Amino acid sequence: MTPDDLAAETEAIRTDEGLRLRPYHDVVSVLSIGYGRNLMVGIRESEAELMLQNDVQAALDHLRASLPYFPRLPCLGKRILLNMTFNLGMRGLLQFTKMLKAVEVGDWDEAADQMLASKWAGQVGPRARRLARMMRTGTD
């Protein structure tokens, strides 16, 4: 098959399958996404890495758009909020009103206390403890 043949058939498949950006069940009930990708067979590591990079960038974009003080935070504070946003989504992070207020004014101990007092901390355990320690100490 020549490169031109491959390109032509790829375009035909793109047209035949159609693009769906959310998971769906195809005509034989196989969970799929994109151009007919069968989700039950999984993804390649390279695809997971690309998805991770895209998702991290989306979380960072949400933080920049939602928290006016985000650019002024120390690097470690930005990293912690990025990690939490990746895990919780922006909507979930915004539920941490007391923590975010503490972050905004640089009260790192209070921010860490609020993180640890949350339902989230019980759900993610070591992750929350590590991030709260980083918030409190200002070190990795």
Model confidence pLDDT, tens digit, residues 19-64: 999 999 999 999 999 999 999 999 999 999 999 999 999 999 999 9
So where are the chain's domains?
A: 13-41, 67-137
Q: pTM for the complete prediction? A: 0.89
In angstroms and rounded to an integer, the radius of gyration of the C-alpha atoms of the chain is 21
Pairing state of beta strands 31-34 and 20-25?
antiparallel
- 3-class secondary-structure state, position 57: helix
67-137 classified as CATH 3.40.309.10: no
